Structure 1
Amino acid sequence: MRMKEDHMNNGQLKPGYNIQMATENQFVLFYTVHQRPTDTRCFKPHLEALKNTSLPFPKNVIADAGYGSEENYIYSLDEQFESLIPYNTFLTEQKRSYKKDIRHASNWTYDEYKDEYTCPNNRKVLFKRYLTRTDKNGFTRDFKVYECEDCSDCPLKSQCTKAQGNRQVQYNPVYEELKAKAKVSLWSEPSAQIYARRKIEVESVFGHIKGNRSFRRFSLRGLAKVQTEFGIVAMAHNFLKVAGLHQLLSGKNRGKQKQVEKNNSFFSTCFILGTY
């Protein structure tokens, strides 16, 4: 895996494990260990492993943009649980520079009746064919391919594409629809408040374990041993949280007691994050 600790600044690969954690109120409720370098491919097996336990399945699943793939969105719909997961360009699309960039077909004019785009140089980008791609993990995606009628002598071509021929656009109807639904959910008032908690939820847990507890490297090798080792770390973290809450509820900090009781809704919301 490529680690954040890259002392030589050359993107070197190091042996490591991808830890996925489900938390609520900064308690580690569930975790899984993976030998997959990307968080995207850990989302489904992590929740499948959770389903096979005696723990209640969460009503809401919140994760960062590293999990926002078409496969994960479809999995959320199939399993019928609410998910708040931005896609990888969600924040970028809000920037003014993105909205003015003519490379993105989403900034072009689209005629739904004719099923064609009009590029910034007022040339037609027509539908040509369907395309199917299968990822390395076996997931199949369907695309619609559009191609500009003529890009020759276009003064904007250098800003639009690096291709030698006419500009092509590959559009994934299913993924774009799922992204639109995710955007609506993330911008709604209740969902925005829930998603805002992610930064102080699972991010804080990793921060405590890595920074305050100084656990930055596994001492053992092998999935089974690493699973046990991290379980001990997670258990120690939870014990320290319980000790802190006991002190908080003992009467010394009455002002914060009501807030703690308000947030104590066991496993109604699941926050997920990797890696380690």
Structure 2
Amino acid sequence: YQASVTVYECEDCDTCQYKPKCTKAKGNKKLYVSKKFIQKRSKSLENITSSEGIMLRTNRSIQVEGAFGVLKEDHGFRRFLTKGKINVKTEFTLLCFGYDINKFHNKIQNDRCRILLHEIKAS
């Protein structure tokens, strides 16, 4: 997006007793503000602090890292057995299929097939 920045500048900083703590500039203190950026930042903060945003952030944090942890620790996967990009991609795809089938089987066993996200526990 194209940013429009508003510049605020003091009229005269020479006589201010706080100038050494406030700025190291030779001239006056300048403050650059993008009102569109502040608006987008506040909207983003509103989104991530809503109940849905908290639930999505919590679920995102446990999804990807957990999958690699399961592949490494539970399945004992430490290194690829093949060489070459295509072969490694095929091997990793098979690992992912196996992981997904196992996860789907566990969902069926625990009667969680229609539940996509974990609910946030009330504290």
Normalized against structure 1, the TM-score is what?
Answer: 0.33
Q: Provide the residue aligned with 2:8 in structure 1.
A: 146
Q: Which structure 1 segments of 5+ residues have no match?
A: 1-70, 72-139, 252-256, 265-276
Residue 262 of structure 1: CA displacement?
0.8
2:94 is paired with a residue whose SS is helix
1:141 is paired with a residue whose SS is coil
Mapping of residues 116-195 of structure 1, within 5 Å: 140-195=2-57
Higher relative contact order (CA 8 A, sep 6+): 1
Structure 1 residues 194 and 246: CA distance shift in structure 2, 3 A: closer
In 1, distance between residues paired with 2:89 and 2:15? 63
Q: Deviations along 1:63-116, whole A, 9 cap, x unmatched?
A: xxxxxxxx5xxxxxxxxxxxxxxxxxxxxxxxxxxxxxxxxxxxxxxxxxxxxx
Residue 190 of structure 1: CA displacement?
1.9
Q: Provide the residue aligned with 1:248 in structure 2.
A: 106
Q: One-letter code of the match for 1:178?
A: K
1:163 is paired with a residue whose SS is coil
- Relative to its length, the structure with more helix (as a share) is 2
Give the RMSD, CA atoms, in angstroms. 3.3
In 2, distance between residues paired with 1:208 and 1:233? 17
Q: One-letter code of the match for 2:106?
A: L
Residue 259 of structure 1: CA displacement?
3.7
1:198 to 48, 60, 67: 60
Q: Provide the residue aligned with 2:116 in structure 1.
A: 263
Residue 178 of structure 1: CA displacement?
1.0
Q: Deviations along 1:163-215, whole A, 9 cap, x unmatched?
A: 2221111111221111111111111112221122121123434x449x82446
Structure 1 residues 258 and 152: CA distance shift in structure 2, 3 A: farther
* Higher Cα radius of gyration: 2
- Relative to its length, the structure with more strand (as a share) is 1
Q: One-letter code of the match for 1:167?
A: K
Q: Which structure 2 segments of 5+ residues have no match?
A: 118-123
2:45 is paired with a residue whose SS is helix
Q: Provide the residue aligned with 2:120 in structure 1.
A: none
